[in-house]
Amino acid sequence: MKTVRVVAAIIKSYNAEKKPAVFATQRGYGEFKDGWEFPGGKIESGETPEEALKREIAEELDMRIKVNEKFDTVEYDYPTFHLSMDCFWCEMIDAGFQLLEHEACKWVTKDELELLDWLPADIQLVPFLKDEL
């Protein structure tokens, strides 16, 4: 089975009520359209995971981020490929962004994490994030 290496940004901040929250996006295209995920994408040849994450977030959200420590690596078998997803804690450098590839986004607190319809690989992070927020 083909392995696809990707990166995901767990962008942590605070919501309007000053509660710790992470940034989630809703896919706007493809087989998993409408599913919620942590933004990111494929690692291109010659890129480090951190470089790929900065590039992908800029392309998808027109957002600049600081990539901090690695949170986890998710290994998940989809029907046609194996996904290896390196997940990093990140911070927004600037407050502005725009959705270029996603339908929606939201800041999600630990109490809201289980309310979203996460993609199969991303949902594996939810129990661990509840402990961290």
Among candidates 32, 16, 17, 7, which has minimal Cα distance to 90? 7
Q: Whole-model pTM?
A: 0.92
Over residues 115-132, the pLDDT tens digits come to 999 999 999 999 999 988
CATH code assigned to 3-121: 3.90.79.10
Mean of per-residue pLDDT scores for the chain: 94
Distance from the first to the final alpha carbon of the chain: 35
- At 11 the pLDDT is 97
